[in-house]
Amino acid sequence: MTRRTIPALICCCLLCGCAQERIIDRINIIQSIGVDKEGETIKISASLPSYIKGAREQASPITAESNVTYGIFTALTAKSSQPIEVGQMRTLVLSEPFAREAIDEFAEIINRESIKSSNATIVVTKQNVNSIIADSSKKPPFYLSELIEHNMKQGNTPKTNYHSFLNQYYGEGQDLYLPVINRDNGLLQMDGICVYKGNELKLWLTAEEGLYLKLLTDKALTGEYDFKLGPQEMYSLIILRGKRKVAIAHDGKTKISLRLSIALREIPKAINVQKQADLQKVKEQIETKLSSEITALLTRLQKNKVDPVGFGEYYRWQHRTFNANRFYNKIYPNQVFEVKTKIIITYSGVGQ
């Protein structure tokens, strides 16, 4: 089997074009698919609901493997009592080996297929793909996709989908990144971000770094943030909304301004937010902490020669003389980052 055929099955999973009508309780609608690669063998796990007298329940996942890509679907069909339908597939989970070895063929194949309208989310796991799909199958239908969607809307995971995947992979000025999902104590959870440089999976970001990346990339600046300034100084807050401004000078000096509206959940007991001086102190501590951590992330990305933030895109918008090779060889390695965060406390309902 050639490497080119390895990811071909995934484009089939994402196809959502026109098809004949089917009665919903007479088909198996695939919700999520996990793909792994062991040597020359492709392994797939598919999660699907069952419909019994109008009620929708989760069925056990179907698993199959093959040395021929399209043989996977023959195996899936052989194990299904009803026709397989992939038009509503919402989530694709890639194992780390597959994500490392086959991202280029995967991107090439799905790009040339008629799947432009798909909003399926692509995530990566460091753990066993089959166990991720099996765990989600024990939950209500669409649990996995709703978990990911919730964390993108309200949590600390940057928003990604099929469209952002192709734009980042084929476009100039931003490197590809994908959310990571793992299990912790038997529970599925979003667990950071993986970042590519071309076809190489280059860097893993923590869940906290995922929030910083989200604040630098998403349109909706939301999330949850916890940090300590000392053994007894715990801060917890919700980022409700915000605005971002990025300016890059010709010499690469980069100014990033964040204006965030937050709600406090927890602050040190010694602080009384009813006092203006204490409230100002809280604001300054949060501003300093966020600015420092975001700057540290940017420095780490720069040292690893990856640009998931899309500074190349910002530079192209602001300067007509953009050249990708020149920017990433000359300007990006020498960028100096200045991050300023402005906090607006809209709610301080902490116990005082």
pLDDT tens-digit readout, 72-99: 666 676 776 677 766 677 899 999 999 9
What is the Cβ-side half-sphere exposure of residue 17, based on CA atoms within 13 angstroms? 7
Q: What is the pLDDT at residue 114?
A: 45
- In the block, which residue shows the tokens 């099929």? 162
Closest CA to 32 of 123, 97, 156: 123
Q: What is the pLDDT at residue 121?
A: 93
pLDDT above 70 coverage of the chain, percent: 81
Closest CA to 186 of 137, 132, 142, 143: 132
Between the alpha carbon of residue 73 and those of residues 39, 83, 108, 187, the distances in Å are: 19, 11, 20, 29
pTM: 0.88
Between the alpha carbon of residue 288 and those of residues 148, 248, 293, 295, the distances in Å are: 30, 22, 9, 11
> Which regions of the chain are under pLDDT 70?
1-27, 50-59, 68-75, 77, 80-81, 85-87, 112-118, 349-352
What is the rounded CA–CA span in Å between residue 213 and residue 108?
Answer: 26
- Residue 334's CB is within 10 A of a number of other CB atoms, namely 10
**Buried b vs exposed e over 167-196: b needs ≥16 C-beta within 10 Å?**
ebbeeebbbbbbbbbbeeeeebebbbbbbb
